Amino acid sequence: MTAAGAATTALAPVLTGCGTDTPGGDTRLKLVAADYGDKEANSSRKYWESLVREFQKQHSKIKVDVEVYSWTEVDKRVADMVAKGKAPDLAQIGAYADFAAAGKLYSADQMLSIPTQADIIASLAKAGEVHRVQYGIPFVSSTRLLFFNKKLFAKAGIAKAPENWDEIQSAAKRLKAIGVKIPFGLPLGPEEAPAEAMMWMLSAGGGYTDQNGSYLIDSPENVKAFTWLRDEMVGQGLTGPGNPARTNRQDVFDAFCKGEVGMLNGHPTLMQQAQAGHIEFDMAPLPGIKGPSKSTMGVADWIMAFKKNGHRDEIGTFLDFIFSKDNVLSFTTQYKLLPVTTSAADAMEESRANSDLWQFLKPLRQAAELYPVSKTSWASVSKTVKEKIGAAVQKGGDPAAVLGEIQREANATELADRSDR
């Protein structure tokens, strides 16, 4: 899942080029990037066009061609280019581990200047490592908070946002009593099941991996989380009429923006959607078993550089420009996402205009947990979670059995990946 948490419609590529040197001696770089907009008017290509123009004013000998594709196709586009021996110089996409494991990427310290490396938020930089070497450079990020409908809460007599599981259930029962269609939105359908699942794992003190990075999907903490969801939320009719296993995130977001959902876990872009729907809402830290969750989920999208064309120095110059404070802020504020550098994060915290993002920014810098994206097996494991995790909360479902099955498949995939290496 992307940091923006949404797939966008396909948009025509822009500034296409071949990523080679020009006859005049200039270097031509090719960047393939994902689109964070949902229509032509707010397409990311406008950001890249402006950024490239400014870059080339300072570096006239480095030409940059950019192709922008929707999230539904950009990862496959890059994979196809690499498979055909036509890798771009740079790709801004959702995952890097497979390319790194195959030895196709420059490491961050081969490209970035020391000030730029030092500016990247440490937890995000570490998440970009494969075998303790950083190949994935975080481009943007986001975290999750509990969103709630203030009018519905007031009508139900709920004085404050829930801080623990018992208070979630109590609030959901009050919302159900006044006829709220979906007291708590629980999207465990294929669109973003790994994210929703991870938030509940973290709230119970669990997660996808242990401190050593080994999969621990069937841990007692994770089983406890899904058992509680099955018995105390889904089983009590507090997650609405739909089956959580077939409920997608965007469906719940759309319902929240229509005033049909009392509360749900959401990312920053939900703010814009809710405001467009004229919903009065507020946000709070994710609840845990006994109090606010000690950690929340973070998501990052990545930029990486391929060795294929040999443009290491020029790529590094362009990356240093991309990660300047002003350029990072320009992109993140436009799309309501979080910066990945300390300088931009500090500037965002000092800007009243970005105060709506402050609550999301704090956990990113303190306690955010990311997917285990450095594991080449994660893509396969994530797919398994999408297919199976919803069964754990259905009536008659067995959370221990479901999580155990996912764990066994994760172990087998991890073992196969290690054997291939």
Q: What is the 3-state secondary structure (H, E, C) of the chain?
A: CCCCCCCCCCCCCCCCCCCCECCCCCEEEEEEEECCCCCHHHCHHHHHHHHHHHHHHHCCCEEEEEEEECCCCHHHHHHHHHHCCCCCCEEEECCCHHHHHCCCECCHHHCCCHHHHHHECHHHHHHCEECCEECCEEEEEEECEEEEEHHHHHHCCCCCCCCEHHHHHHHHHHHHHCCCCEEECCCCCCCCHHHHHHHHHHHCCCCCECCCCCECCCCHHHHHHHHHHHHHHHCCCCCCCCCHHHCCHHHHHHHHCCCCEEEEEECCHHHHHHHHCCCCEEEECCEECCCECCCEEEEEEEEEEECCCCCHHHHHHHHHHHCCHHHHHHHHHHHCCECCEHHHHHHHHCCHHHHHHHHHHHHHHHCEEECCCCCCCHHHHHHHHHHHHHHHHCCCCCHHHHHHHHHHHHHHHHHHHHHHC
Q: Which residues of the chain have pLDDT under 50?
A: 6-19
pLDDT at 24: 57
120 closest CA partner among 352, 269, 322 = 322
Q: What is the pLDDT of residue 74?
A: 93
Tens of pLDDT, residues 338-369: 999 999 999 999 999 999 999 999 888 876 89
Mean pLDDT of the chain: 92
Q: What is the pLDDT of residue 9?
A: 39
Cross-strand bridge partners of residue 64: 29
d(CA 329, CA 361): 13
Among residues 72, 1, 78, which one has the least CA distance to residue 38? 72
Indicate the pTM of the whole model: 0.87
**What is the C-alpha separation between 62 and 360, in angstroms, rounded?**
36
